[in-house]
């Protein structure tokens, strides 16, 4: 069963047709890749899917229910959490506070209890701290919980961004270039973390330029070129597709 099913997506920016009848299916419980050459429309697809840009047309379903990606917060509440190619942390907040912000999406304390610190609000805040620490341990950076996030290493910032996204309890974790800027050791550690997240029940969709990483971790891959889907299937099928080889993978293998 497809956890995420998107069909007929079109998006134009002025004279540029960024997405042309694009579609995507992400089966539940898998890691799925979205790849293509520069300018293929991958980030535009992510931005439309997660409410950053309005689609000109398209049908969006998550867990069998139609959702309207008209605003980022609504998409988050529906169950899709994302990270960005350019890391977007609250740089002056601590590592722990960053994850707590994500956790607040799923908490219930209202304005009155927040202002007057009711017993229920105090109890909930304690639980948020515990949940945030658990997630930091899960991604392997619990020892950096009280550091200001801007002082973390690049790899740890990536892990923090993933922890903050997981704090929202997403059905789908959407990762935009999670391995960007990482060395081979960091990429291997990232692959292990993503596999753990998937094995523990969170479906993952990822844009990634590192073809080797995508082929090594993804069960299914969708390939975009010039805003259109040109291939979809297992890594073995996609790797051999002539249109894919011409558009992208042949260049990567020769590089």
pLDDT digits (tens, 9 = 90+) for 145-185: 999 999 999 889 999 999 999 999 999 999 999 998 888 99
State the pLDDT at residue 23.
97
The answer, yes or no, to whether residue 53 has pLDDT greater than 60, is yes
What does the pLDDT read at residue 25? 96
Binned at pLDDT 50, 70 and 90, residue 118 comes out as low
CATH architecture of 2-79+170-254: 3-Layer(aba) Sandwich (3.40)
Mean pLDDT is lowest, of 52-61, 75-84, 99-108, 221-230, for 99-108
The helix, strand and coil proportions of the chain, stated in percent and rounded to the nearest 5, come to: 45, 25, 30
pLDDT band with cut points at 50, 70 and 90 for residue 250: low
Residue 200 is predicted with a pLDDT of 97
Position 143 scores a pLDDT of 95
The full set of domain ranges for the chain reads 2-79+170-254, 90-156
Q: Which residue has the higher pLDDT, 119 or 235?
A: 235
Q: Which of 110, 185, 121 is nearest to 154 (CA)?
A: 185
pLDDT digits 0-9 by tens, 71-98: 888 899 999 999 987 788 888 899 999 9
What integer best gives the mean pLDDT of the chain?
Answer: 89
Q: What pLDDT score was predicted for residue 126?
A: 87
The predicted pLDDT at position 129 comes to 93
In this predicted structure, the answer to whether residue 190 has a pLDDT above a threshold of 50 is yes
pLDDT of residue 104: 72
Looking at residue 116, what is its pLDDT? Answer: 61
Give pLDDT, residue 195: 97
Nearest Cα residue to 82 out of 165, 163, 193? 165
What distance in Å separates the CA atoms of residue 59 and residue 9, rounded to the nearest whole number? 7
Say what the pLDDT of residue 253 is: 44
Rounded to whole angstroms, the Cα distance separating 57 from 43 reads 17
Share of the chain above pLDDT 90, in %: 71
**Whether the predicted model's global pTM rises above the 0.75 cut:** yes
Q: Is 189 left (phi over 0), alpha (psi -120 to 50) or beta?
A: alpha
Q: What is the pLDDT of residue 103?
A: 83
- Residues 95, 101: contact at Cβ < 8 Å? no
């Amino acid at each position: 069963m497809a956890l995420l099913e998107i069909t007929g997506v079109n998006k134009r920016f002025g004279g540029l047709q960024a997405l042309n009848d694009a579609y995507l299916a992400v089966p539940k419980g898998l890691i799925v890749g979205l790849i293509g050459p520069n300018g293929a429309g991958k980030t535009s697809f992510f931005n439309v899917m997660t409410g950053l840009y309005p689609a000109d047309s398209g049908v969006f379903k998550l867990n069998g229910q139609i959702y309207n990606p008209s605003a980022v917060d609504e998409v988050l509440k529906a169950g899709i959490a994302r990270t960005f190619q350019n890391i977007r942390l609250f740089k002056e907040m601590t590592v722990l506070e960053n994850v707590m912000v994500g956790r607040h999406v799923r908490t219930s304390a209202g304005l009155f209890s927040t202002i007057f610190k009711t017993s229920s609000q105090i109890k909930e805040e304690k639980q948020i701290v515990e949940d945030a620490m658990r997630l930091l341990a899960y991604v392997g950076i619990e020892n950096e919980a009280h550091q200001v996030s801007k002082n973390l290493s690049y790899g740890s910032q990536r892990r923090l961004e993933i922890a903050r996204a997981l704090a929202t309890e997403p059905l789908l974790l959407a990762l935009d270039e999670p391995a960007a800027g990482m060395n081979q050791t960091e990429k291997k550690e990232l692959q292990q973390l993503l596999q753990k997240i998937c094995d523990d029940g969170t479906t993952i969709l990822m844009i990634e330029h590192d073809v080797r990483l995508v082929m090594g971790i993804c069960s299914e891959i969708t390939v975009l070129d010039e805003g259109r889907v040109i291939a979809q299937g297992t890594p073995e099928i996609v790797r051999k597709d002539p249109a894919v080889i011409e558009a992208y993978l042949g260049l990567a293998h020769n590089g």
